[in-house]
Amino acid sequence: MLVSEAITRDEVEERAPEPLVLDAWHRAHGARMVPFAGYEMPIQYEGIVAEHNWTRSSASLFDVSHMGQLSVSGDSAAQALEALLPGDMAGLSEGQMRYSMLLDEQGGILDDLIVTHAGSHLALVVNGAMKWDDIAHLREYLPDDITLTHHDEQALFALQGPLAADALAAIVPGVTELTFMTAGLFDWQGVPLWISRSGYTGEDGFEISVPAELAEKLANALLADERVKPAGLGARDSLRLEAGLPLYGHDLTDQTDPVSAGLLFALSKNRRECGGWMGHDAVAQVLANGPASKRVGLSLEGRMPAREGAEVFAGDAKVGTLTSGGFSPTLGHPIAMAYVSAAHAAPDTPLEIEVRGKRLPAKVVKMPFVPHRYHRKGAA
């Protein structure tokens, strides 16, 4: 298998953060940079709340080039991936995308990812902090006749918001033909762009893979549109929390399984029953017996946010732990995700969260906290 040199996550974390291709561009646009996933990343430009609200009302450009862009090719690539992922990869039609997970033998989640049928190969986008571990895992378990390629020559942008489609279509004709979780190859001034209608904000939007040497040119072309502003990691996190989307390393880890995490939609029904993928036996037991704990959304009273690690109580009994939390700019009050005991996971269950020695009233609510606005097939 062909891969770039694989190193472990610990080795990535021990190294000094690397600059993104657009490091100087971000700084010139006023970004505050922070270490994240082995890179120097922009956390904000104008401000997290301002960028959050702009994404909700217009269109924001996020640089997500830290994510891993991989491809798996070979005559039996889909079948090879199905030995490692619990979803239906062989059933994907060209341009169709699917959310899935890499699991270990115990059913623990090693990473969550997106798989796309890209015609000649299957394209994978994996989390930046986990990409080297993912490459190593795939290299170990994929058959020798399957080729794994890391496309580190590509940058990756996310253009998100209700005006993203109009802004992108102004320079890349035809992209509005895409619907949520579909992708295709488009031409921009003679440059091939692989574009998917997807994202991590709950809003309509696109992810755009562009040759790294042309990333700045594309970023400038997008920002020339007054509807588009740059946004950083801070707004991306608050938006994904409102959308009820889990963050790997926080809401998902190798100590959580897909059932407890509420990700059953990613386990194709026929593959749940037939198995044949890593971790199936362990996950099947959780399906049969029910999970001991569940990932839930929590709505907090007042204005004090609760953060990851805060303990959740029902009376005097500790029943869970927060995995993500913050103040919701859209809703005007704090929200959080937590794993709580299954007996306390039903919507409207009253709970308390301990923050700085105080108990904050909260209740279990359905997610997403803010409705998704994806452009689905058949939508007006």
pLDDT, tens only, 131-173: 999 999 999 999 999 999 999 999 999 999 999 999 999 999 9
pLDDT computed for residue 380 by the predictor: 60
* Mean pLDDT score across all residues of the chain: 95
Strands 18-19 and 39-44: parallel
pLDDT computed for residue 17 by the predictor: 81
pLDDT computed for residue 230 by the predictor: 98
pLDDT computed for residue 190 by the predictor: 97
Q: How many whole angstroms from its chain centre is CA 247?
A: 6
Bridge partners of residue 194, in order along the sequence? 185, 209
Section 6-30 average pLDDT:
72
pLDDT of residue 2 exceeding 60, the answer is no
Q: Quick one: residue 94, left, alpha or beta (phi over 0 = left, psi -120 to 50 = alpha)?
A: beta
Written as six digits, the tokens of 236 are 């991306």
Q: How many whole angstroms from its chain centre is CA 45?
A: 21
What is the C-alpha to C-alpha distance for residues 73 and 148, in angstroms, rounded to an integer?
Answer: 7
What is the C-alpha to C-alpha distance for residues 214 and 218, in angstroms, rounded to an integer?
Answer: 6
Confidence of residue 120 (pLDDT cuts 50, 70, 90): very high
Confidence of residue 32 (pLDDT cuts 50, 70, 90): very high
Domains, the chain, with CATH or none: 1-245 (3.30.1360.120), 264-365 (2.40.30.110)
Radius of gyration of the chain measured on its C-alpha atoms: 21
pLDDT tens for each residue of 49-94: 999 999 999 999 999 999 999 999 999 999 999 999 999 999 999 9
Planar angle of CA 44, 8, 295, nearest 5 degrees: 60
pLDDT of residue 333 exceeding 90, the answer is yes
pLDDT of residue 379 exceeding 80, the answer is no
